[in-house]
Amino acid sequence: MFFINQTYFYMKRLNIFSLLHKTVYVCNICAIFVIVFFIKAHSQNMITDSSFELGLDRATTGNIFRRVEGEASHGRHFLRLIDKTGYFNSRKLEPGKYTFSAYLRTQKNGTAVMLRMGSGRWSSEKKEIILGETWQRHHLTAELKAVPYSEELGNENIYSCFIDKNNSDPVDVDAVQWEKGELAEYKAAQKFCIAVRSGAYANIFFEHEPLDFTAGIYNSDKAEKKFSFQVTVSDADNKIFFNSADSCTVAAESLYEKKFVKAPGLKGFFKITAVLADENSRKIDTHTVHAARVAALYDGNMHLNSFFGIHPFNGTDDSELLEKRWGIIKNSGARWSRIFFNWRIIETKKGEYAWDAYYKESDIVQSDKNKMAVLLVFSDVLKRGAPKWAVINDDVTGGFPEIDLEQFCKYIETAVTRYSGKVHTWELANEPYLSVPGDKYCDEHARIYSGIYQIVKTITPDIPAVANIGGFGQIGEDANFLSRLLDRDLLKWIDGLSVHFYLGKYPLERDSRIENAVASIRNLAGKYGNKNITVLQTEGATCANDLFDPVNHQATQYRLMMQDNAFGYTSEIEAARNGIRAMIIEISSGITRTFWFMTGAYTQYKVYQLLGMIRDHWRSPKIIYPAFNAMALLIDETKPLGELSRNEKFRAYAFKKGEKVIIPFWHLMSGKGFGRLAIGNSAKIEKIYDFMGNEIIPEKTGSVTRLPLDEAPYYIQAPFSELKNIEALMLAGKHEDFKGAAGISVAIGSGEKNPVAVIKIQNNTSGEISGFARAARYPAGIKIEKEGLIFGPVAGMSAYTVKIPISAISGECRGEMEGIVRIGDRMTEFKKDIVFMHSTESKNIISVDARDDEWSPAEPLRLASDDRILSDSKNDREWNGEKDLSLSAWSCWRGDMLYFYIKVVDNIIIQDRERPFQGDCVQLFFDCDTAGDAENTFYNDDDVQINFVPASGGENGFFAIVGDKAKHDRFSDIKYASRSVKDGYFMEIGIPSASLGVKAIFSGTVFGFNIAVDERDEAGEKKRRKCEMIWAGRDNKMWKFTDRFGFILCR
């Protein structure tokens, strides 16, 4: 088959602005300063919602930021920074000169902030600003140099801008602008935008709370505007639970908001999507937030035997935020928390204790309504943790300063007395191994440990005290440090040891490391007479917090989240299941307390840098919350029985819960997704839960029960007496993985009145095809008549076709069809993207004349957004909005003809007769036998690409068939007309059904179909198109592979 070699490229938008001289006079009593700024009249602001009318770049949680309504410099709202971290935004950019600016003010004259711009917070250009109490614009211009590819970020040339502050004074920010080149007048990036904000802190709803959210529309134009908007709540499979269509009129430079309060019957992970359109229903903007609805596990009591806790790591003294965070902590199932008490901050003046200056958790802990078991940490005084007045000698040659130990002991005595009734465990230091642990350093630590231990045991003899030894097994010095402290009689002065485990780069390889580390600790302690020493895990960021998805130290997994996935389900579930597995392993290994959630400001910066640069707003992964709660409900406060007999296919652990046994299990086939473990059905299994806590019914066939297997845990609940039987059956079971030899193709084919989903299975082995397991996650608006269709057995070395009727198709539908086929003891999965366009039967005779006289009003297929532009990282693209290029297409059929009416907005039309696809044109793609040859991914005789070139400059329009002479002959009867207008062109096309391989068209006829529009603005032999928009798919190979087409359905 002959193919025209298509090379795609796209060019970055480049705005060249005229310069405007603007003089600003700044006066004081003594002198007059004249400052001249060269300011461009217009700018291309890269920051969405830069005046914060809708929030922080449309972010949905107010953690270290707060949107405030009041005297803003622009609009009605501004951003208040209430933490030490500040504001930041990140982008992938081309190297060059850029300017970052913002209007700033403070409530306290003289507050200092730092403007930064560069490849990272500490590797950037910077400028210190001293703020006053009135709004003033400040800016930083810098040359951004090329940044090499980053394994952590998964990309190159990633830059960030920051407003940093190292104090607790609130700073107000408004009208932020990040632009290429020199400073320009401030201008919002979008005139009209929409955002949806949930009413729950961190977007976590508990089952006793209603689901409430607010849609906001901001009109920055100088005139009143009318809009329509739609708000939808749907789950991970796009099942819609709530849908609302509204309209509104928004005054000039004003914000419109509408609140929704609903109680839909959904649990777990879900999304809320808002779509904004103009009064003619043309889409303008869209915004999606992710949320979770989970069961609240906290019952108001101290759970001293609970495994799970949250490490707040707050770094803020804002009482409102702390109260919200503690609400999440206590309701998310954690019964423990960890609080730092830093001597340097609490006792800045000798004898004066500012207990609330560092953390207000102390007040929350003492409140009756927030009863929790608390672990209080005394920060390490040997790492500059002492107040200046208590430092005797600041020479750190030995790894630490000399401090007044008498005063330190007095501080410890005061703190222990104050919190003696509120704290369940004392932790004596935090990561002391990070300093160079020489002999002198170890001597001092042993002495301090012994001193603290004697104090806490004198005042609170029943409260245990543990010593932190850091990330055991991850940093070379920690094992050496522990050995040295054990040599210095550490076990006399502690009741246990605490460690820090962070998720590694390869989570499946991490499993044994946890167990090996715990075993090593106990073996070392055993040499000194305490092999069964208590081990706590008191810090880790393996799971998520309100803005942070797991791995902040080993952030390579963030690249998964940067895929163009509308819901992000795959990447977020990957992150969650790694953390859940690790927690199960730790508890099973004998760790008695584990802290997994963190709520630190640094982690928020990290996730924003890695995700915000792609989507202009934060995505807040929430799968971890229902997953964590499901695990806590099942295994918390149980008796760990250890790992079941290990094998190469799966891992399983047992926990005794009264007279029951809970068995979490998962497979070890990394990246293989879903599978089955076929076991005998003699075991009395009561229930099976997935890792989100949903009860599932296992598949049973004859004497075989098929347990589900995934990288995320499943849980078996059974009588404890059945443990040995279940273990034996699982070990003897057959693992049905995805190494099957089935060839599977999926398509939509023609049927009587309605189309059919066609799934073709070609078995290339001698094994029988024993069943088709499922077909799921259909496009919105499509109803499958039969689900979970079981068939067979079918002889091996043969083909089998399943046809499933489809009905209730409405609108332009997008989604997936997926399933599993079993061949013998092997399984193969399939997945197919589905997108439909409709062609309705016409009652009128169509005259192909590029006019719409015979066409009935209908909703068009639209190509008019950035997300439909060809995505090819090797090339550039240039698109300057709908007036630069957009397409609207309608289709109808009558008798033996399929018709298209197409309107293209394009300000410049260039024909290319030699390479039509490199000039202005519309490309139509057809697969005329989708069901008959769905297994073919390349073009064959029934597949065709046709390029339609518009009339331009006195030259008639024409069309070109891509392919051999037979195809040219077959499609020679196409009717085509085009006409140019001031802002673009119209096309009308008629294609005979015979050309498309059918005698006549009827309701239910389906063709594989795709449509693209190309734009070129420059004439010349060596010039090329600058942009291409595509309906189905976005990769630069879509023209070549027919399995990437969508479908056109005749109704």
Name the pLDDT band for 156 (thresholds 50, 70, 90).
confident
Domain boundaries of the chain, sorted by first residue: 45-180, 192-294, 308-635, 639-658+667-736, 742-837, 842-1050
CA dist 542 and 60 (Å) reads: 22
Using one digit for the tens of pLDDT, what is the confidence trace for 203-215? Answer: 778 877 888 888 9
- Report the pLDDT value the prediction gives residue 702, as an integer from 0 to 100: 81
Q: What is the pLDDT of residue 795?
A: 40
Please tell me whether the peptide bond between 793 and the residue prior to it is cis, using omega within 30 degrees of 0.
yes
Mean pLDDT within 213-230: 91
Q: How confident is the model at residue 282 (pLDDT cuts 50, 70, 90)?
A: confident
Query: What DSSP string runs through 275-287?
Result: EEEETT--EEEEE
Report the relative pairing of strands 783-784 and 799-807 from DSSP bridges.
antiparallel
Residue 506 has pLDDT above 70, yes or no: no
Q: How far is CA 50 from the centre of its chain?
A: 22
What is the pLDDT, as a whole number, of residue 540?
66
Residues present in the chain in total = 1051
Going by pLDDT thresholds of 50, 70 and 90, the confidence category of residue 687 is very high
Domain covering 742-837 in this structure, CATH number: 2.60.40.10
Mean pLDDT computed over every residue of the chain = 74
What pLDDT shows up at residue 815? 57
Share of the chain above pLDDT 90, in %: 21
**Residue 66 clears pLDDT 90, i.e. is over it:** no
Give the residue from 903, 919, 1018 showing the smallest Cα distance to 959: 919
Q: Long-range contacts of range 343-347, CB-CB < 8 Å, 24 or more positions apart? A: 343/378, 343/379, 343/381, 343/385, 343/386, 343/387, 343/390, 343/408, 343/411, 344/379, 344/384, 344/385, 344/386, 344/387, 346/411, 346/415, 347/387, 347/390, 347/411
CATH of region 192-294? 2.60.40.10
Look at residue 1003 in the predicted model and tell me its pLDDT: 85
Assigned CATH topology for domain 842-1050:
Immunoglobulin-like (2.60.40)
Nearest Cα neighbor of 583 from 487, 501, 651, 647 is 501
pLDDT at 330 over 70: no
Given CA atoms 953, 955, 961, 964 in this order, what sign does their dihedral have? Answer: negative
User: What pLDDT shows up at residue 1024?
Assistant: 78
Mean pLDDT of 375-385: 69
2-13 mean pLDDT: 25
Residue 552 has pLDDT above 60, yes or no: no
DSSP string, 801-834: EEEEEEE---SS-EEEEEEEEEETTEEEEEEEEE
> Angle, to 10 degrees, between the axis of helix 624-635 and the axis of helix 569-588?
30
Classify residue 782 by burial, with Cβ atoms within 10 Å: 0-12, 13-18, 19+.
Answer: buried
Pairwise CA distance, residues 621 & 812, whole Å: 28
pLDDT interval class at 418 (50, 70, 90): confident
pLDDT higher than 80, residue 195: yes
The pLDDT of residue 948 is: 95
Q: What is the mean pLDDT of residues 40-62?
A: 64
Residue keyed to tokens 């499509």? 782
Given a contact cutoff of 8 angstroms between Cβ atoms, the answer to whether 1010 and 925 are in contact is yes
Residue 37: pLDDT over 70: no
- Of 572, 605, 598, nearest to 271 by C-alpha is 572
Q: Which residue has the tokens 């807040």?
A: 620
Q: What is the pLDDT of residue 980?
A: 92
For residue 382, what are its two tokens?
């040997």
CATH superfamily of domain region 45-180: Galactose-binding domain-like (2.60.120.260)
Residue listed under structure tokens 């309100």: 546
Residue 237 DSSP SS3: coil
DSSP classification of residue 344: H
Tokens of 831: 């997945």
Instruction: Look at residue 653 in the predicted model and tell me its pLDDT.
Output: 96
Q: Are 654 and 323 within 8 A, CB to CB?
A: no
Residue type, 832: K
pLDDT at 167: 74
Other Cβ atoms less than 10 A from the Cβ of 702: the count is 6
Instruction: Confirm if 668 and 677 have CB atoms less than 8 A apart.
Output: no
Helix (H, G, I), strand (E, B) or coil at 464: coil
Identical fold, 192-294 and 842-1050: yes
Q: Residue 315 has what DSSP assignment?
A: -
Q: Are the CB atoms for 489 and 500 separated by under 8 Å?
A: no
- What stretch of H or E contains 129? strand 124-130
Burial of 369 from C-beta contacts in 10 A (0-12 / 13-18 / 19+): exposed
Residues 6+ apart with CB under 8 A from 969: none
pLDDT in tens, 691-722: 878 788 887 878 888 888 887 899 999 999 99
Residue 846 has pLDDT above 80, yes or no: yes
Residue with tokens 């399995």: 1043
pLDDT at 797 over 50: no
Query: Phi, psi at residue 1005, to the nearest 5°?
Result: -70, 135
User: How buried is 26 (Cβ within 10 angstroms: 0-12 exposed, 13-18 middle, 19+ buried)?
Assistant: exposed
The answer to whether 356 and 317 are in contact (CB under 8 A) is: yes
Residues pairing with 823 in the sheet: 769, 826
Question: pLDDT tens digits, residue range 87-130?
Answer: 777 777 889 999 999 999 998 888 999 999 988 655 678 999 99
The Cα-based distances of 285 to 49, 228, 345, 455, 1033 in angstroms read 12, 11, 47, 62, 21
* CATH architecture type of domain 308-635: Alpha-Beta Barrel (3.20)
Calculate the CA 208 to chain-centre distance: 26
Question: Where is pLDDT greater, at 924 or 915?
Answer: 924
Residue 733 has pLDDT above 50, yes or no: yes
**CB neighbourhood size of 1009 (10 A):** 25
Contact between residue 1016 and residue 912 where contact means Cβ atoms under 8 Å apart: yes
pLDDT of residue 833: 67
- Tokens of residue 142, six digits: 């810098």
CB 543 within 8 A of CB 504: no
8 Å CB contact between 528 and 487: no
Reply yes or no on whether the pLDDT at 770 is more than 60: no
